[in-house]
Amino acid sequence: MHDPAHVDDVQEGRRLGGQRRRREAIVSNAYDFDGLGSVEQIRRLVEIAVVDTLGLENSIARARTLAYLAQAATKLLEVGELEQRLERAEGALGPRLQKVRR
């Protein structure tokens, strides 16, 4: 990075990195996408993909993509449901669960 022969390459890398971060922020805001840290955030990504795919012309690839996205959505619903059930069970156990963890 400090080699004078690579000054142009380093500057170009910095420029491209800045563009990528700006583009990422713009796209994230446009799609109301905050990341992949929760089931809700992943669900949002699948919703975006479904809407974009539905806008494509009918084709075998579109049908396959929609089927795959439906499978992914089904899995997300299962995980979300299990997460809710676990939270309810932990809430019902309350103090008893705290004693077991100690």
Whole-angstrom Cα distance, residue 93 to residue 95?
Answer: 6
Which of 40, 101, 27 has the alpha carbon at shortest distance from 76? Answer: 40
Quote the pLDDT of residue 11.
62
Q: Which residue has the higher pLDDT, 72 or 39?
A: 72
With a cut of 60, say whether residue 72 has pLDDT above it: yes
Quote the pLDDT of residue 38.
85
Look at the chain and count its residues.
102
The residue with tokens 């439906």 is: 70
Whole-angstrom Cα distance, residue 34 to residue 38?
Answer: 10
Q: Which residue has the higher pLDDT, 4 or 71?
A: 71
Report whether 42 contacts 76 (CB < 8 A): yes
Quote the pLDDT of residue 24.
72
Q: Is the dihedral of CA 10, 12, 14, 17 positive or negative?
A: negative
> What pLDDT digit, counting tens, does each position of 53-64 carry?
999 999 999 999
> What pLDDT digit, counting tens, does each position of 7-26 carry?
666 666 655 555 566 777 77
